[in-house]
Amino acid sequence: MLNLFKIKGQKKEEAANTNGRPPAKKQSPGELRLHKDIAELNLPKKTNITFPNGKDDLMNIEITLRPDEGYYVGGAFVFTLQVPPTYPHELPKVKCTTKVYHPNIDLDGNVCLNILREDWKPVLNINTIVYGLNLLFIQPNDEDPLNHDAAAVLRDDPQKFRRNVQTAMSGGYVDRVHFPRCK
């Protein structure tokens, strides 16, 4: 019984020390690392990063890429990153929310990028992911595709691939699949 009274007294004392405010939430190691990564961000030009749930939730990130070279010039592509509390030991989950005709991004928004799979290491950071995603739009890779049809067109007929990308980005149909305008 004595311990119960001691604990109650400690709780009252802690509540009094916070001056009526709720006690601060303890940050996970992943959140601490993410704060560091965000402070050191060096984004490519025409790339924006936002926190859709506000400044109190840095574990959910939205990235908008606007490639300035390659097949996808003029497009705007949005990605979400969900950062786990165990980051950087566990990699963020990345999805493309913009439907895009791309060999390395399927129609569900899954992204095929080596650092988001087997090559992830805790020394990598959010900046590395952003540059990797940007590189996918500058140099799409037909050798490790998620969208096999787009990869085959890129490999066999780059001019047709360019036309398909432009049609998709303009809000047209490619192979009976409609793509919303992303310019």
Place of tokens 């992303």: 182
CA distance linking residue 34 with residue 90, whole number of Å: 12
CA distance linking residue 140 with residue 181, whole number of Å: 20
Whether 145 and 104 have beta carbons less than 8 Å apart is answered as: yes
Active-site residue (options: 65, 96, 111, 112): 112
To the query of whether residue 112 is one of the catalytic residues in this protein, the response is yes
Describe the strand order of the beta sheet including 60-65 as a list of residue ranges.
Answer: 47-50, 60-65, 77-82, 93-96
Residues annotated catalytic, as ranges: 112
